[in-house]
Amino acid sequence: MVGGGEAEEDEQLPLLISSSSTNELSQQPLKRTGTIWTAIAHIITGVIGAGVLSLAWSVAQLGWLAGPLLMLVFAAVTILSNNLLSDCYRYPDSDGPTRSRSYLEAVKIYLGEKWQTVSAIFVHESLYGCGIAYTITAASSVRAIQRSNCYHKEGHQASCEYGKSLYMLLFGLVQIVVSQIPDFHNMEWLSIIAAIMSFTYAFIGLGLGFAKIIENGRIQGSLGGVPTSNVADKLWLAFQALGDIAFAYPYSIILLEIQDTLKSPPAENKTMKKASMVAIFVTTFFYLCCGCFGYAAFGDDTPGNLLTGFGFYEPYWLIDFANACIVLHLVGGYQVYSQPVFAVAERWFSKKYPDSGFVNNFYSIKVPLLPRFQANPFRLCFRTVYVVSTTGIAMLFPYFNQVLGVLGALNFWPLAIYFPVEMYFVQKKIGSWTRKWIVLEAFSLVCFLVTVVGVIGSVQGLISAKLS
């Protein structure tokens, strides 16, 4: 961002533009100022999002035994895989001179261009999918605010039906503006605000669930979860619940971008491991509380989305506030998952077309009442088209639980497990059939099976929802 005082003529003209090249801007050394606290904020912003709202439903499908146990298992798996990946930030060892600024760069350095291409498909599909999921969730929360006010005025039996499409469009318009934030290094403030919002609505969901249990005078639910008419239906729902939990935890695809913001010393991987441990401990606590209290409060009637499914009606103003916090959080969460896509696309086009002014030139723009900022034509166009496309697909498939399940299951094994394990093997020079190799390969195989069953159940649920 351009500093300096404002000239007198800036106050007289609504817009002043001057140009500079990307090369001139890039000559300034990148200052890494991130700390363990900013890393924790980024992680919580990326992790506690749409996924937390589906966990009560997931626990309801799995029951009191398997539901909480699987959340703990996913937490442990996430910590392990992220510790492996954080060691791969530097090459050829954890203290090496070469940095991996992104997940894809790390795969290329350790496994080669072929595997980078394969991983790129999963990475960009996952990041893109998160944008779709967050658009759906934000629209559901805005609609929930309207419905909450309607139920308060008209009674709980009123129809109070509102569509989601308009709210998805509004969220998309906000993201078009926010997406012009240059990169991760310029959005610490947004992640901190988003993290505060995530804590707020998680606490509210937890408190409302606890109050509902007291009102009922008993804990609802069973060891086996929600009963179904046949075994096949139960399996589909259990598999979909696995996908939803898988969506709620891993953040491997943005871990190295977060790690690249950290200052050193201490070593970035040491700071990142501590940040991951703290963030996952905090998120697991909230996940268990929200999931378990939600199931205990509603039992077999647990809604798919704890705060928009209208298990709670009163106090309506608190429901409104919680959903407003969700929307604010998702504004930041969307950017956490979109910035890596923007960075890759812009670097690729800049390298491909080094002489293009449209791609490489930046213009210093001054808008009244706002700080001077840098605008790039390609950035403006590409990021706008990206947001428009995620919004359009969200409008075609507005199914919260099913979309989360598909995305979580599809990306869990390849991105959170397989590539981190394989890169770790290369860096630590672990030979085949050694004890550590066998343990990690067995771990990878088990996680692969979880991905398979999760994808099957979630795709079945998505098709059923679309057809119905």
Q: Per the structure block, which two tokens stand in for 2?
A: 């351009």
**What is the number of domains present in the chain?**
1
Question: What pTM was estimated for this model as a whole?
Answer: 0.77
The 10s digit of each residue's pLDDT in 25-36 is: 344 456 788 889
> What pLDDT score does 424 carry?
94
- For tokens 């950290």, what's the residue? 262
Q: What is the pLDDT of residue 206?
A: 80
Tokens of 41: 């904020």
pLDDT at 9: 38
Task: Specify if 157 maps to a domain.
Answer: yes
The edge-to-edge listing of strands for the beta sheet with 16-21 is: 16-21, 361-366, 373-375
Residue with tokens 């930046």: 362
Q: Residue 303 is part of a domain; what is its CATH number?
A: 1.20.1740.10
User: What pLDDT is recorded for position 6?
Assistant: 38
What pLDDT digit, counting tens, does each position of 252-295 carry? 888 998 898 888 788 888 999 999 999 999 888 888 888 898 89
Q: Which residues, listed in sequence order, are joined to residue 19 by a DSSP beta bridge?
A: 363
Domain extent for 330: 36-467
* pLDDT tens column, 163-182: 778 889 999 999 998 888 77
- Is the residue at 402 inside a domain? yes
In a domain, 403, yes or no: yes
The answer to whether the CB of 294 falls within 8 A of the CB of 59 is yes
Flag whether pLDDT at 423 surpasses 90.
Answer: yes
Which range, of 185-199, 227-241, 251-265, averages the lowest pLDDT? 185-199
Residue 13 lies in a domain: no
Q: How many CB atoms lie within 10 A of CB 163?
A: 11
Q: Is residue 212 part of a domain?
A: yes
- Provide the pLDDT for residue 273: 93
Distance CA 244, CA 248 (A): 6
Task: Output the pLDDT for position 272.
Answer: 93
213 φ/ψ sector (left φ>0, alpha ψ -120 to 50, else beta) = alpha
Residue 180, token pair as written in the block: 């012009």
Amino acid at 263: K
DSSP-derived secondary structure letter, 301: G
pLDDT of residue 312: 62
Token pair, residue 330, equals 């998702």
DSSP state of 51: G
Asked if residues 243 and 454 have their Cβ atoms less than 8 Å apart, the reply is yes
Q: Which of 228-242, 368-382, 425-439 has the lowest mean pLDDT?
A: 368-382
Q: Are 333 and 324 in contact, with CB atoms under 8 Å apart?
A: no
| Domain membership flag for residue 8 | no
In a domain, 285, yes or no: yes
Question: Of residues 249 and 268, which shows the higher confidence score?
Answer: 268
Query: Could you tell me if residue 21 is inside a domain?
Result: no
